[in-house]
């Protein structure tokens, strides 16, 4: 998924808690879904970032090269400017872009 094109807020926003439990009927279930999705997003972003930074890694230990690698700094700054995974997951949940299922409700 392309997290760079999300319309999630960059900072914390006050939200109405009643919007969270509308799809599930249970606020705790909604928070659990959003937290699991935030963990997924975080791990995907971490893998993507480390993959891009690996392209610039060298096998020699040159101290000057470590401090002067502008490309790595620019990539890191770009990822720092992205919305946090929790904010992205909240936005996805509110826009009903998250697939979830409750196994106990399916069995009943």
For residue 38, the model assigns a pLDDT of 93
What's the pTM value of the predicted model, to 2 decimals?
0.74
Res. 80 pLDDT band, cuts 50 70 90: confident
Residues 6+ apart with CB under 8 A from 1: 41, 44
Position 103 scores a pLDDT of 66
- Measured from the Cβ of residue 15, the count of other Cβ atoms closer than 10 Å reads 11
Tens digits of per-residue pLDDT, 37-56? 999 999 999 998 888 878 77
Residue 51 has what pLDDT?
86
The structural domains of the chain, with segments of one domain joined by +, span: 16-107
Separation of alpha carbons 16 and 32, rounded Å: 17
Residues 20-32: pLDDT tens digits? 888 788 888 889 9
């Amino acid at each position: 998924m392309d997290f760079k094109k999300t319309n999630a807020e960059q900072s914390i926003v006050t939200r109405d808690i009643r919007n969270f439990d509308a799809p599930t009927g249970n606020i705790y279930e909604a928070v659990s879904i959003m937290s699991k999705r935030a963990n997924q997003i975080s791990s995907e972003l971490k893998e993507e970032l480390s993959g891009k930074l690996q392209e610039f890694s060298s096998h020699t230990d040159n101290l000057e090269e470590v401090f002067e690698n502008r490309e790595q700094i620019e990539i890191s700054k770009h990822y720092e400017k992205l919305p946090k995974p929790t904010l992205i997951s909240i936005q996805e949940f509110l826009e009903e872009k998250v697939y979830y299922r409750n196994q106990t409700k399916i069995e009943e």
